[in-house]
Amino acid sequence: MSEVKDNKVASVHYTGTLPDSGEVFDSSEGRDPLTFLVGHKNMIPGFERELMGAKVGDKVEFTLSAEEAYGEHNPDAIQQVPTDMFGDITPEVGMTLNSDMGPFRVTVVTAESVTVDFNHALAGQALTFNVEVVELRDASEEEISHGHAHGPGGQNH
Ligand code: ZN
């Protein structure tokens, strides 16, 4: 019987909630399952670890500390930049934009400056996941060498 381990391609349905409030921050409900190559750092660290050994049909619930999820909130990742650096874009609070240094969120806008936060939106949060394994297969050699899953739910290239 197949189980979740390194170099398997796993497809899972999941719902992520904030343990304090019960608020759902992400869910695959009503969508295609999430498909990923196990053991290649495609997922946050604690997520794969908790699923190791699970079989198709297994439902697993676990809560990860911030450190095992999107990391602690790093105050150094909050920066003030001049508003004119945004060029044609009018920055608004709540926007997520991309830069050479990765995605960031706009948290404060004044006439002169914009405060941007490079922390993941879920940084500093413990996260609870309910996960159901819906499909498991061996990864191809090509997938293993690329470090990600191909086909439905994976990379198509
Ligand atoms: Zn590839």
Architecture of domain 8-70+122-146: Roll (3.10)
Q: Tell me which residues have their CB within 5 A of the ion that is ligand 1.
A: 146, 155
**Domain residue ranges of the chain, discontinuous segments joined by +:** 8-70+122-146, 75-117
Dist. CA 149 → ligand 1 center (Å): 7
Which CATH code fits 75-117? 2.40.10.330
Query: What is the pLDDT, as a whole number, of residue 67?
Result: 95
Contact 55, 1 (CB under 8 A): yes
Dist. CA 47 → ligand 1 center (Å): 22
Q: Is-above-0.85 flag for pTM?
A: no
Dist. CA 148 → ligand 1 center (Å): 6
Q: How far apart are CA 144 and CA 25, in angstroms?
A: 30
Other beta carbons within 10 angstroms of residue 120's beta carbon come to 19
Query: Can you give the pLDDT of all 157 residues of the chain as single tens digits?
Result: 799 999 999 999 999 999 999 999 999 999 999 999 999 999 998 999 999 999 999 999 999 999 999 999 999 999 999 998 888 999 999 999 998 888 999 999 998 899 999 999 899 999 999 999 999 999 999 999 999 999 988 998 9
Dist. CA 65 → ligand 1 center (Å): 31
